[in-house]
Chains A and B, each alone.
Chain A
């Protein structure tokens, strides 16, 4: 059983502050690491798919890094806004199939 862990479980951040959270995963047989943003009552929205060690991706104020050797990825949000409030999920895809193994998510609340 693959163990994908996310920390912290929840986070309250003041509007305007920057924040980051972690996803850790077993590094053997790694193929891709996905980040999703999930707002209540909506579909999870794909943020990044990361495949290469040392990869860094950016989408507006959100960026992510990947270390496949040690098995972790960080998601950063710069200058948090109320609309960033959501649960952020990471999911591991192993080599050879399209199945995703999810972490339990980090629930982010931005305080205006």
Chain B
């Protein structure tokens, strides 16, 4: 199957700083990528849809100025958590459908963010 990488796998940052998380499709092109967040004992919740060459679309309740998304190329989307606070500590994971089959989405391994 298709491979999606995510970097970093773990990051600890201080409150008020910004953190960038990268999501790459390694062997296919992805015009769309999805960013999810998972809090403990909860399900993966969609935060935003990243669109190559245009603005991301955000789910209700997700602050677009806080979670900046850039889909710079057909293989890379980045999520920047700006002015991070402890309540932003969570598990962030991305996925991408392949152009061959929009049903199937391939996930990265996720990034554990801890804000101190």
Mark A residues whose CB is within 8 Å of B. Answer: 4, 32, 34, 36, 41-46, 49, 51, 89, 91, 93, 98-105
Contact = CB atoms under 8 A, between A and B. Distances in A.
B34 A99 contact: yes
Interface of B: 1, 4, 9, 32, 34, 36, 41-46, 49, 93, 95, 97, 102-110
Contacts, number: 51
A4 B106 contact: no
Contact of A4 (B4, B32, B43): B43
B107 A99 contact: no
Given A89-B44, A102-B44, 5 more contacts: A43-B106, A44-B93, A89-B43, A103-B43, A104-B41
Nearest to B105: A100
- Nearest 10 A-B pairs (CB), nearest first? A102-B43, A102-B44, A44-B107, A104-B43, A43-B107, A43-B109, A49-B103, A32-B103, A98-B102, A98-B97
B22 to A, nearest CB: 15
Chain B CB within 10 A, most for which of A46, A93, A101: A46
Contact of A42 (B45, B95, B104, B109): B109
B42 to A, nearest CB: 6
Contacts of B104: 46, 49
